[in-house]
Structure 1
């Protein structure tokens, strides 16, 4: 079981006994949990986008070094040659020296022109959109991501979408169109390409790619609210054949029908209908599950939740073979379903412990579900799995992690 990437590290002090006890409790809860600390790099040469920016940067860096050395030489030469203790006479004036004045204007113009040519060339390359490339639509909201595949129509209706985990083919440019459903967010997975602002009512398309299959870290790069730091996602790059098979399985997917009387069946009923007697709203009012009547758009698509390895837009990660059936993972899933706004500041998901939470600045009282009922919903969510052969995490290496091995 993996947790977040040291969200509480830093110089913050825990003042008083309450803070100390809270810290101790947190450490106890996290003990035994292996963390995945994925490094990210704009210098990842498996991406053509990054290669283009890198070579442009090399020219700019080389030119900067030449300018620095030239200016430094001129400065030290002048200071040394014309020191006051060596020359008592009034220094010579060069007013009207046309040759020098022209040089001081022309040389900077040439430098700026050269850098402009490099920048324009690179911009033309990285902003060129191939109409034949696979397309992925990205929607950013507070504080999660949804990824849609407009060319992939689901057999159950609508297009294929997935929450907080984006799959894409390797060694092939992908056209990503990003927008926002509320405030400005920043879509950035440095290892596969540059960042773009996700703005409401605006759609921006550009190309990203990677020659190396693996799972990469993505982040929101624009301060967007209380859980900006908890708005993460994964980019899972698959070999072409595997990507095609996974996307085909997603298109054909229909949520399994739970066995009568099972925990999954009870969870399905609560997911779809809620519990009006205690004010617990239905999950289906905000979430979509392919092959059911749940078609909500206010929250991430949960169609393949049982296959996913991240929860709450990356606030938790479950990279073990058991993932959400692992004891600690199950406890975290339970806590998330019970009181998401407590776990993740700013989360708009309702509380099911009867507590209050904020929606657009207004305090709202959540409904109530028992722990058993919450576990039933968790059981239903875990049952929402793609076929084993379409598990895009199986054997996929987590790039930038301390260990080089893939996930189980």
Structure 2
């Protein structure tokens, strides 16, 4: 009987390890938060890895204790067993959660503070206004009077404040490799500070269900070198702004 229990436990452990490796295979890709391309996303990735490693260690300890409990002989002394049970309940039900939450707050609060749009030591960030519609993104560079649709252009290495709001329902603006999510709420503006380190294209999307067209509510951020961004911005200023296309809007809003 003991051997059968050990065989079942070993099989479950092997299955857990294989499943972990399988799911870790999805940690890369164009929208992976674990492949950061900016300081905000990098801070989030480090926090995720820290939580993952800590949770894995706790799981390994719990599984080890479980295997030990299944294999050991029952204690003959009931009073001793009761004392041990109370210790395990207090340790696993009170001490472990308090320590875990304390560590999460100790690391998470400073990281969250660094993600805020705090005043810069010198200069001011580039300001971009993003408005969520069902089911597309309106992107405006107010100082340059440039408007885009489902497209965002950023200069590499330059702080950018994305001012996010919504024209209808609640959406959520998210560029996974550049930073965290932020809600787009009608009648309210939230500010997301982003800095892109590497030039390239970074897909994004609405990350909060907002209706039948939610899955198609995507956008793309293109990061240029500062000089190339200035050239792009001047070229857009010479061309007319993107008009409001009522036909396209009706097509996007169709279920």
Asked whether the two chains share a fold, i.e. TM above 0.5, the reply is yes
- CA–CA distance in 1 between the matches of 2:35 and 2:60? 29
Are 1:240 and 2:226 an aligned pair?
yes
- Give unpaired runs (5+ residues) of structure 1: 1-37, 153-158, 256-288, 290-300, 304-311, 313-335, 348-408
Are 1:136 and 2:120 an aligned pair?
no
Runs of 4+, deviation exceeding 4 Å: 87-91, 95-104
| Secondary structure at 1:82 match in 2 | coil
Equivalent pairs, count: 223
| Secondary structure at 2:187 match in 1 | coil
| Secondary structure at 2:34 match in 1 | coil
1:74-103 Cα distance to aligned partner (Å, 9 max, x none): 2222222234xxx66646343499976764
1:123 to 95, 112, 118: 112
Are 1:191 and 2:177 an aligned pair?
yes
For residue 44 of structure 1, report the CA deviation from its aligned partner: 2.2
- Residues 129 and 206, structure 1, Cα contact 8 Å, conserved in 2: no
Higher helix share: 2
Residues 67 and 239 (structure 1 numbering): CA distance in 2 closer, same or farther, change over 3 Å? same
| Secondary structure at 2:202 match in 1 | strand
For residue 68 of structure 1, report the CA deviation from its aligned partner: 1.2
1:111 to 100, 115, 118: 100
For residue 235 of structure 1, report the CA deviation from its aligned partner: 0.9
Residues 81 and 124 (structure 1 numbering): CA distance in 2 closer, same or farther, change over 3 Å? same
Higher relative contact order (CA 8 A, sep 6+): 2
TM-score of the two chains, using structure 2 as the length reference: 0.75
- Residues 130 and 175, structure 1, Cα contact 8 Å, conserved in 2: no
For residue 108 of structure 1, report the CA deviation from its aligned partner: 3.2
For residue 243 of structure 2, what is the aligned residue in structure 1?
Answer: 302
Are 1:70 and 2:61 an aligned pair?
yes
Are 1:210 and 2:196 an aligned pair?
yes
| Secondary structure at 2:112 match in 1 | helix
Q: What is the Cα-based RMSD across aligned positions, in Å?
A: 3.0
TM-score of the two chains, using structure 1 as the length reference: 0.49
- Residues 38 and 177, structure 2, Cα contact 8 Å, conserved in 1: yes
Equivalent residues in 2 for 1:219-238, closer than 5 Å: 219-238=205-224
For residue 399 of structure 1, what is the aligned residue in structure 2?
Answer: none
2:71 to 62, 80, 86: 80
Equivalent residues in 2 for 1:2-401, closer than 5 Å: 39-83=30-74, 90=78, 92-95=80-83, 103-104=91-92, 105-130=94-119, 132-152=124-144, 159-251=145-237, 253-255=238-240, 289=241, 301-302=242-243, 341=250, 344-346=252-254
| Secondary structure at 2:80 match in 1 | coil
Residues 66 and 177 (structure 1 numbering): CA distance in 2 closer, same or farther, change over 3 Å? same
For residue 315 of structure 1, what is the aligned residue in structure 2?
Answer: none
- CA–CA distance in 2 between the matches of 1:103 and 1:122? 29
1:126-159 Cα distance to aligned partner (Å, 9 max, x none): 224345211111011112211112332xxxxxx3
- Residues 129 and 205, structure 1, Cα contact 8 Å, conserved in 2: no
- CA–CA distance in 1 between the matches of 2:52 and 2:104? 10
- CA–CA distance in 2 between the matches of 1:254 and 1:53? 38
- CA–CA distance in 2 between the matches of 1:224 and 1:101? 43
Higher strand share: 2
- CA–CA distance in 2 between the matches of 1:181 and 1:115? 35
- Residues 50 and 193, structure 1, Cα contact 8 Å, conserved in 2: yes
For residue 386 of structure 1, what is the aligned residue in structure 2?
Answer: none
- CA–CA distance in 1 between the matches of 2:87 and 2:231? 69
| Secondary structure at 2:142 match in 1 | strand
- Give unpaired runs (5+ residues) of structure 2: 1-28
Residues 70 and 216 (structure 1 numbering): CA distance in 2 closer, same or farther, change over 3 Å? same
For residue 240 of structure 1, report the CA deviation from its aligned partner: 0.5
Higher-Rg structure is 1
For residue 229 of structure 1, report the CA deviation from its aligned partner: 1.9
